[in-house]
Amino acid sequence: MKHRIGIVGAGILGLALAWRLQERFPEAVVTVFEKEKGPGQHQSGNNSGVLHCGLYYQPGSLKARLAVEGIRSMIAFCRQHDIPHEVCGKVVVASDDRERGFLEDLAGRGAANGLQGLTYLDSSALRRREPHVRAAAALLVPEEGIVDYRAVMETLVSLIRNRGGEVLYNSRVAGVSSTKSGETVLRTGSGKEFTLDLLVCCAGLQSDRLYRQCTGLKPPLKIIPFRGEYRMLRPEAEAMVNHLVYPVPDPLYPFLGVHFTRLVHGGREIGPNAVLALKREGYTKSSFSLPDTIDSLTYTGFRRFISKNLRFTAAEVASSLSGKAFLGKARKMIPELTLDQLVPGTAGVRAQALATDGTLVMDFRILRHDRQIHVLNAPSPGATASLAIASHIVDEYIN
């Protein structure tokens, strides 16, 4: 008998998992259900396109291991399938002696995680690589890069279909039930029913809600949507940035701060900030959903997070409302940058998991319930590590 496996979510992780399952179980019937009209319509297709190599993550954590495995798997995949990418390197810059200490900690983490070629740069060495960047010191991370994640997903869709799998768009999960023999019956919004031996949910911004819908249980965390807004450098100013240029991140937060990104198809992007999105899948300042807003604001964990982080919250809101405030963050690295060199860019919404005590859930979170597997939290570097996360799920939860 062929096993019937359903995957909810045609973002990069859901597609990577479908492909890995077909590799491991060639006889399985794999179907991907996606509520949107195409793949990667949310987090997977609205990010900066960076290949993260595992610099920031706690040594020994699942995230650290899968990040390092993930970037190497992703680069190999891109090379095999001629997907646009570039290992261009990154510099993380420290503006003062305090941040220089954080930089040393980062270098230690990166080395412990197995990164290669990490190089400490003094201000003179940094200027030779990035003439417009001003900093006390920097860490060169040569393994970091950029990629076209949309092309990765389009390739995965083709590979899945070529192996006999299905990727069904406009297929929202309307209901889930169980048969007497323990199989899962998934019903889509159009009324079609699919009987499955295994259901895996990779629902990103909707992961906690889908967990409740499918299991009837209260999820152990809440997804809070944070919108990240970008600006673009005007073409005449693009030469100000050669690499990926990042500030030393605040160790208290998972957000990496406003940074400069080379885009794989050209251009230079600056951002993002991190502000509460008033709609889970809302990408503009005017996007609003009353149920989504109430859902976030009434969550005890979110209120506790805000009360502990008022200064951070105020600064991020200011950078959203004021171009000058946003510019101020960028000018910490490139002081000569002016407001007229920036133009509005894109925005993305990050699914940030919060615990009830207000702490940010930093690591990947995967739960099994009967014949269901739920990826409840797959934050950055989830896209880079998607192939490795998929292999981990197959090895630890399915195989």
DSSP line for 160-221: HHHTT-EEESS--EEEEEE-TTS-EEEEETTS-EEEESEEEE--GGGHHHHHHHHH-S--SS
Q: What is the pLDDT of residues 171-215, one digit of tens each?
A: 999 999 999 999 999 999 999 999 999 999 999 999 999 999 999
Distance CA 370, CA 377 (A): 19
The pLDDT, as a whole number, for residue 254 is 60
The pLDDT, as a whole number, for residue 214 is 97
Q: What is the pLDDT of residues 109-120, one digit of tens each?
A: 999 999 999 999
Distance CA 275, CA 94 (A): 24
Cβ atoms 7, 33 nearer than 8 A: yes
Q: Residue 105: is its pLDDT beyond 80?
A: yes
Report whether the peptide linkage leading into residue 335 is cis, meaning its omega lies within 30 degrees of zero: no
250 DSSP assignment: P
Question: By three-state DSSP, how is residue 331 classified?
Answer: helix
Cα angle 63, 309, 248 (rounded to 5 degrees) comes to: 50
Q: What is the pLDDT of residues 224-275, one digit of tens each?
A: 999 999 999 999 999 999 989 999 987 766 677 899 999 999 999 999 999 9
The CATH number that domain 4-46+150-221+363-398 falls under is 3.50.50.60
Cβ atoms 379, 365 nearer than 8 A: no
Q: What is the pLDDT of residues 19-62, one digit of tens each?
A: 999 999 999 999 999 999 999 999 999 999 999 999 999 999 99
The domain limits of the chain are 4-46+150-221+363-398, 222-234+270-360
Q: What is the pLDDT of residues 143-180, one digit of tens each?
A: 999 999 999 999 999 999 999 999 999 999 999 999 99
Residue tagged 């919060």 (tokens): 354
- Nearest Cα residue to 254 out of 285, 296, 284, 224: 224
Tokens of 90: 């990154």
Tokens of 129: 């690589």
Tokens of 365: 């979170």
Q: What is the pLDDT of residues 276-335, one digit of tens each?
A: 999 999 999 999 999 999 999 999 999 999 999 998 899 999 999 999 999 999 999 999
CA 113 to chain centre: 19
Model pTM? 0.96
270 DSSP assignment: E
The pLDDT, as a whole number, for residue 184 is 97
DSSP line for 22-70: HHH-TT-EEEEE-SSSSS--SGGGSS--EE--SSSSPTTSHHHHHHHHH
Distance CA 266, CA 334 (A): 20
Distance CA 85, CA 180 (A): 48
- Nearest Cα residue to 329 out of 266, 270, 288, 388: 270
Q: What is the pLDDT of residues 364-394, one digit of tens each?
A: 999 999 999 999 999 999 999 999 999 999 9
Host H or E run for residue 228: strand 222-233
The pLDDT, as a whole number, for residue 9 is 99
Bridge-based pairing of strands 198-201 and 372-377 is parallel
The pLDDT, as a whole number, for residue 249 is 86
Distance CA 175, CA 300 (A): 28
Distance CA 251, CA 108 (A): 14
The pLDDT, as a whole number, for residue 257 is 86
The pLDDT, as a whole number, for residue 283 is 97
